[in-house]
Amino acid sequence: MIRRSILSLLLLIVLVGCQQSKTPQNEAKTVDQPQIEDPVITYEEYSGTEPTKPEETEFYEPVVPEVKPYAQNGAPSDAIILFDGTSLDNWVSSSDGSQAKWILNDDGSMTVKNKTGDIQTKDSFGCVQLHIEWKSPEEIQGEGQSRANSGIFLQNRYEVQVLDNNDNPTYTNGQVGTIYKQGTALAMASVPTGQWNTYDIIYHAPKFNELGGKTKSATITILHNGVLIQDHTEIKGTTPYIGWPKNEAHGKGPIRLQDHGDNSRVSYRNIWVRPLD
Ligand code: MG
């Protein structure tokens, strides 16, 4: 009898402990803690009892917003069109904010005008889905990092490398599709030189506390011509040519395209973005 009472008391303590841990904040943490082994606690996270009807595990709120794909010359209906080939009006020179000076081509693309400097969007962005297409010039010039080098900077800081890597080796962490000078790409998935590449990028901005310390790194996923080359990769900080990554606090920033300054002649087209924050 005494033993049964003790067991009952212990069971009550466990159950009370479980109930106290069911605050909304702790629920989210518990989902991320697969080390919890007690299946009873797992069931408690949902309803306390195993559902017996399909309706008990179905919900209808929130209603998912409808987005029409291919609605704007291939872009989704809710995308912000940054460049559709008709003008450079959404872009400015990074050096002084004047109108972008790159070359607007008849085929709906634009090309880096050598030594006119980087260009960047007038608008600023944080977390985004970004679609961008780029092409190296057919006429090959230079080697290594000097062959059709450009880049796409998220939040004006973090460079996704653009480079003609076809039969053109360079340092691994500076290859096409790398977060420049950080780690490696999972694959080199470029099309032949002179053809159009696509990058589809999912980017989550870093977070900083009120003292300026980074509390969460940026992450990036990239499909290069449909091939996964960055898989939720942590961005360690800025991507300088010389030096380690830096992590000064910042908010939203423009998307910037690089003029590498060595007659890269890289072209871009069909640039659109969907803000994710
Ligand atoms: Mg570059």
If you measure from the C-alpha of residue 177 to the centroid of ligand 1, how many angstroms do you get, rounded to a whole number? 10
If you measure from the C-alpha of residue 173 to the centroid of ligand 1, how many angstroms do you get, rounded to a whole number? 11
Q: What local confidence, expressed as pLDDT, does residue 56 receive?
A: 85
If you measure from the C-alpha of residue 29 to the centroid of ligand 1, how many angstroms do you get, rounded to a whole number? 39
Q: What local confidence, expressed as pLDDT, does residue 25 receive?
A: 38
What tens digit of pLDDT does each residue of 113-131 get? 999 999 999 999 999 999 9
Q: What local confidence, expressed as pLDDT, does residue 183 receive?
A: 86
If you measure from the C-alpha of residue 151 to the centroid of ligand 1, how many angstroms do you get, rounded to a whole number? 4
What tens digit of pLDDT does each residue of 241-251 get? 999 999 999 99
Please state, in angstroms and rounded to a whole number, the distance separating the CA atoms of residues 255 and 12: 57
If you measure from the C-alpha of residue 144 to the centroid of ligand 1, how many angstroms do you get, rounded to a whole number? 11
| Half-sphere exposure (Cβ direction) of 204: Cα atoms closer than 13 Å | 12
If you measure from the C-alpha of residue 83 to the centroid of ligand 1, how many angstroms do you get, rounded to a whole number? 20
CB-based contact 127:143 (threshold 8 Å): no
- Count the Cβ atoms, other than its own, within 10 Å of residue 113: 16
Strand partners, 104: 110
pTM confidence score: 0.83
Reduce the secondary structure of the chain to three states and give it as a string: CHHHHHHHHHHHHHHHHHHHCCCHHHHHHHHCCCCCCCHHHHHHHHCCCCCCCHHHHCCCCCCCCCCCCCCECCECCCCEEEECCCCCCCEEECCCCCECCCEECCCCCEECCCCCCCEEECCCECCEEEEEEEECCCCCCCCHHHCCCEEEEECCCEEEEECCCCCCCCCHHHCCCCECCECCCCCCCCCCCCCEEEEEEEEECCEECCCCCEEECEEEEEEECCEEEEEEEEECCCCCCCCCCCCCCCCCECCEECCCCCCCCCEEEEEEEEECC
If you measure from the C-alpha of residue 113 to the centroid of ligand 1, how many angstroms do you get, rounded to a whole number? 15
If you measure from the C-alpha of residue 163 to the centroid of ligand 1, how many angstroms do you get, rounded to a whole number? 7
If you measure from the C-alpha of residue 74 to the centroid of ligand 1, how many angstroms do you get, rounded to a whole number? 27
If you measure from the C-alpha of residue 223 to the centroid of ligand 1, how many angstroms do you get, rounded to a whole number? 18
If you measure from the C-alpha of residue 182 to the centroid of ligand 1, how many angstroms do you get, rounded to a whole number? 13
C-alpha 110: how far from its chain's center?
Answer: 23
- Count the Cβ atoms, other than its own, within 10 Å of residue 272: 21
If you measure from the C-alpha of residue 84 to the centroid of ligand 1, how many angstroms do you get, rounded to a whole number? 23
If you measure from the C-alpha of residue 76 to the centroid of ligand 1, how many angstroms do you get, rounded to a whole number? 28
Q: What local confidence, expressed as pLDDT, does residue 164 receive?
A: 98
Nearest to 31 by CA among 21, 42, 40: 42
Q: What local confidence, expressed as pLDDT, does residue 9 receive?
A: 45
Q: What local confidence, expressed as pLDDT, does residue 207 receive?
A: 98
Degrees (nearest 5) of the Cα angle 173, 142, 136? 75
Compute the Cα dihedral for 111, 114, 118, 122 and give only its sign.
negative
Q: What local confidence, expressed as pLDDT, does residue 166 receive?
A: 98
**CB proximity list for 14: less than 8 A, separation 6 or greater:** none
Q: What local confidence, expressed as pLDDT, does residue 57 receive?
A: 86
Ranges of residues in the chain with a pLDDT under 70 are 1-47
